[in-house]
Chain A
Amino acid sequence: MRTYFKVPAFSKRAWKVWLRNRDVFMKTYKVNFILPFLEPLLYLFALGFGLGRYIEVIEGMTYARFIAPALIAVAIMNSAFFECTYGSYVRMYYQKTFDAIIATPLSIEDVITGELLWGATRSLIHATIMLPVLAAFGLIELPSSLLIIPLSFLAGFLFACIGMCFTAITPNINSLSYPTYLFITPMFLFSGTFFPLTLLPKPIQYAALATLPLTHVVGITRALTLAAPSGFLLVSFAWILIVSLILFVLAVNLMKNRLIV
């Protein structure tokens, strides 16, 4: 009698779980804010200004300008995904935090929803910190790039749900490296991040668009940082929204199957 697609009965109490994670995060806020600040600089120097010297122009722009939106998209992906895989797994399995919370009026649906919203918030924080850095180098257009802030929450939620599904089915913490290497790393490389998707053979392009969420996120962030909208954005946006909803329902059900025995 396992169910996978029952609509989760979560409540606004999920915010209590979000608050708990925020409180922990704020305990080490200095580190948590400085790292996302330094990370884009690292990539920009290595890829943009190092490798970029050999690539004069790519799609009519400098390489640094080309990869800037991809760096944001990757940060959105990593923040939420790792928060809701390793972070959530540690809270669930080692710290028994979920067990403690469900002994209160909160339900398991509230807990998982709160965790996912927190994962999305991590993405939002990370992306928001990167924007001024990239803007300082003149790599992104304003104000259109500001729309990345709400986008990062939505896209972060998607990656949080993906991570949580893996957390729900992983037999142990080490096995979380499978989705990391087999899913996240390829996505990092083949989503139009460091070279345009159009360089790939057509069937692979379609396969990437159908199965790799990051392609859609990169597509949108790039359109926003370059202030160059296209019709395909709506498709990408709809893709993210629909897949998020499906995976949200699946993530909560999988977690419930795992924890409520």
Chain B
Amino acid sequence: MAEDLTKRFGEFVAVDKVRFTVHEGEVFGFLGPNGAGKTTTMKMIQCVSPMTAGTLTVFGMAVSSHQREIKRLLGVAPQETNLDPDFTVRENLLVYSRYFDMPRTTAERIIDELLDFVQLRSKRDTVIEHLSSGMKRRLILARALINSPRLLILDEPTIGLDPQARHLIWDKIKSLQSQGITIVLTTHYLEEAARLCDRLVIMDTGRILVEGRPDELVRAYIGSEVVEAANEPEVIACLARNGASYEVFGDRVQIYTTNPREITYTLLKECKLGQLTARSATLEDVFLKLTGRKLRE
């Protein structure tokens, strides 16, 4: 749906000619370190931040000309909590339903269903201030669903949540997908992306580095297994001699392979080293390989 999509803030290029297509019914992920341009891309899809160049269409409608029509079909859970602190849980949803021209009785019925769905029924008359951050994220999800959206945009839906709350949100996302809703989400949690996304892109400094299915990306970029060894000159020399695919991270070397036995055997025999660990390759390895280990500002 996006082609050469670009966003500049003054001179600064936040999103640089990205191109992606989200298919109906899938969960599509945007992965990337802080400042990669994920939120900026979400805001352009939501029609709240105008693009600088390129084309972006949502359900065949251009974001520059059909804002109201597009926004009617979207549900948005922003990264930054913006629930209305002047209202209670239920009032938040009720006031929000009005923005979508929903009749009051329909809205009340849907709100009750949604509060059950995100397990907040007992908190319906609580003011926002008194909710935990997990409850707030759930309420934001419920709010995003109030207009029965066709496309749901979740910007870091599980940020700062405990494992229980995260699993609950994951379950909800899965069940929404099974209801046929298309979901676009951003995340830093690689496990989350691997679990939820049918397809994803990894972004860094405004560009898309790769696109694909999580398991395919792992296989293509890493192999199936990772062997870790201590970072010592002999090991590096030995690996180079054997033409292995490896990367140095601080005091560790990671060797990417589809055949850990063989590598381990070679290392032990030829390189005379002690400690080795082997594990399955994950999306995290792809992520770190592509975006580097340097901390982002």
Residues of A near any B CB (own CB < 8 A): 13, 16, 19-20, 23-24, 27, 95-97, 99-107, 260-261
Question: How far is A107 from B78 in the complex, measured between Cα atoms in Å?
Answer: 17
A23 B91 Cβ-Cβ under 8 A: yes
Q: Does B99 contact A (CB under 8 A)?
A: yes
A103 near B86: Cβ-Cβ < 8 Å: no
- B77 to chain A: closest residue by CB: A103
Contacts of B83 in A (CB 8 A): 100
Q: Determine if A95 and B85 form an interchain contact, defined as CB atoms under 8 angstroms apart.
A: yes
Partner of B95, one of A20, A95, A103: A20
CA distance A106 to B48 in the complex (A): 11
Q: Is the CB of A96 within 8 A of B80?
A: yes
Is B98 in the interface zone, CB < 8 Å from A? Answer: yes
Give the complex CA separation of A101 and B86 in angstroms. Answer: 14
Closest Cβ of chain B to A251, distance in Å, is 20
Q: List 5 A-B contacts (CB under 8 A).
A: A23-B91, A99-B78, A103-B76, A104-B147, A105-B71
Is the CB–CB distance between A261 and B71 below 8 Å?
no
* Cβ contacts under 8 Å, B67 to chain A: 107
Name B87-121 residues within 8 Å CB distance of A: 87, 91, 95-96, 98-101
Q: Closest Cβ of chain B: how far from A92's Cβ, in Å?
A: 11
Known: A95-B84, A97-B82, A100-B82. A260 touches B95 (CB 8 A): no
User: Is there contact, CB below 8 Å, between A260 and B48?
Assistant: yes
Q: How far is the CB of A73 from chain B (nearest CB, A)?
A: 29
Which 9 pairs show the lowest CB-CB distances between chains A and B?
A: A96-B82, A104-B99, A100-B82, A24-B86, A103-B76, A105-B68, A105-B71, A105-B72, A16-B98
Contact between chains at B74 and A103 (CB < 8 Å): yes
Residues of A within 8 A of B87 (CB): 23-24
Majority SS of interface residues in chain B?
A: loop
Contact across chains for A99 and B99 when beta carbons are under 8 A apart: no
Query: Please, how many angstroms separate the alpha-carbon atoms of A101 and B50 in the complex?
Result: 17
B82/A95 in contact, CB under 8 A: yes
Partner of B68, one of A20, A24, A101, A107: A107
Report Cα–Cα, A19/B86, bound state, in Å. 13
Q: Which of A16, A97, A102, A104 has the most CB of B within 10 A?
A: A104
User: Which A residues lie within 8 Å of B84 (CB)?
Assistant: 20, 95, 97, 100
Complex contacts, B265 vs chain A, CB 8 Å: none
List the B side residues contacting A104 at CB < 8 Å: 71, 96, 99-100, 147
Report the minimal beta-carbon distance from B198 to chain A, rounded to whole angstroms: 24
Question: A100-B84, A103-B71, A105-B68 in contact; A16/B99 too (CB < 8 A)?
Answer: yes
List, in ascending order, chain A residues with CB within 8 A of B96's CB. Answer: 100, 104
Which residues on A sit within 8 Å (CB–CB) of B242? none
- Minimum C-beta distance from B207 to chain A (A): 21
Q: How far is the CB of B67 from chain A (nearest CB, A)?
A: 7
B259 within 8 A of A: no
> Closest A-chain residue to B128, C-beta based?
A95
| Interface assignment of B46: CB less than 8 Å from any CB of chain A | yes
In the complex the two chains form, is B98's CB within 8 Å of A19's CB? yes
Q: Which of B9, B46, B81, B98 contacts A103 (CB 8 A)?
A: B46
Q: Are B72 and A103 in contact (CB under 8 A)?
A: no
Q: How far is the CB of A32 from chain B (nearest CB, A)?
A: 13
Residues of B within 8 A of A261 (CB): 9, 49
Beyond the given A19-B98, A103-B48, A260-B48, could you list 4 further A-B residue pairs with CB under 8 A, ordered by the A residue number?
Answer: A99-B48, A103-B46, A104-B99, A105-B68
Docked complex Cα distance between A143 and B28 (Å): 66
Q: Which residue of chain B lies nearest to A28 when distances are taken between CB atoms in the complex? A: B86
Please indicate the chain A residues that have their CB under 8 angstroms from the CB of B82 in the complex. 95-97, 99-100
Set B49, B68, B100: member contacting A260, Cβ < 8 A: B49
Could you say which residues of chain B place their CB within 8 Å of the CB of A13? 99
CA of A145 to CA of B81, assembled, Å: 47
A83 to chain B, nearest CB (A): 14
Q: Is the CB of A105 within 8 A of B48?
A: no
Q: How many Å lie between the Cα of A99 and that of B48 in the bound state?
A: 8
- In the complex the two chains form, what is the Cα distance from A103 to B85 in whole Å? 17
C-alpha spacing A97/B98, complex, angstroms: 14
The smallest beta-carbon distance between A193 and chain B, in angstroms, is 33
Q: Using Cβ atoms and an 8 Å threshold, which residues of chain B touch A19?
A: 95, 98
Q: Once the chains bind, are A95 and B86 in contact (CB under 8 Å)?
A: yes
Taking the closest CB of chain A, its distance from the CB of B123, in whole angstroms, is 18
A115 to B48 Cα, complex, angstroms: 19
Write out the residue numbers on chain B whose beta carbons fall within 8 Å of the beta carbon of A100: 78, 82-84, 96
> What's the least CB distance linking A107 to chain B, in Å?
7
A95–B80 Cα distance when bound, in Å, is 11
Instruction: State the Cβ distance, B265 to closest chain A Cβ, in Å.
Output: 56
